[in-house]
Homo-oligomer: A and B are copies of this chain.
């Protein structure tokens, strides 16, 4: 309750504060005091708008879902192959933007905690589902127009790619990039293998 009535700029501010606190300290050490410190509200002020810490986290997830979806929708290439390569670049290697990176860390944290916290499951499912949907669309387009082989299952392939991207993010963030340095090559090769065999 209460969540719908939160002014949208306040919600955005809280979401940003949660993202930063989460990226910096992790879910296990995420405290309402830290969220308050990152925002311009006091702890009690947060509780004026939200009934629980989890509600603040969910507010972040909803905001993040919009953020990621907008980024994927902005891919401008016209042919499916380039669009897919852009999307993969985006999912696997774009780590420059600190906001984007923060979102990745935060989402990873929450994904790991989801099995033990039902509140988080639905918004996370929506977030990941959106990404898979976006990739599925690209792949469907490409299968229809003959860019990708007709044996490609768009949804299965999209899920595989997003899973791989999530795992790669984990590698990158948790263990340093050493392990995943050569990953982009493997991804590019994978995309190659989806193309219709030209003859």
Using a CB–CB cutoff of 8 Å, the interface residues on chain A facing chain B are 24-29, 105, 108-109, 111-117, 121, 124-125, 128-129, 132, 151-153, 155-157, 159-160, 162-168, 170-171, 173-176, 179-180, 182-183, 185-187, 189-190, 193
Contacts and interface: CB of A to CB of B under 8 A. Distances in A.
Contacts of A186: 153, 156-157, 159-160
Contact of A112 (B109, B128, B183): B109
B174 A163 contact: no
Given A26-B116, A167-B163, A124 B156 contact: no
Given A112-B170, A170-B111, A179 B132 contact: yes
A92 to B, nearest CB: 9
B115 A112 contact: no
Contacts of A157: 186, 189
Given A26-B116, A121-B174, A124-B174, A163 B190 contact: no
Given A164-B163, A185-B156, A174 B112 contact: yes
A168 B175 CA distance: 18
Contacts of A160: 164, 168, 183, 186-187, 190
Contacts of A124: 174-175
A173 to B, nearest CB: 5
A156, A182, A185 pick with most chain B CB within 10 angstroms: A156
Given A128-B175, A159-B180, A159-B182, 4 more contacts: A24-B116, A121-B174, A157-B189, A159-B183
Contacts of A114: 174-175
Contacts of A24: 116
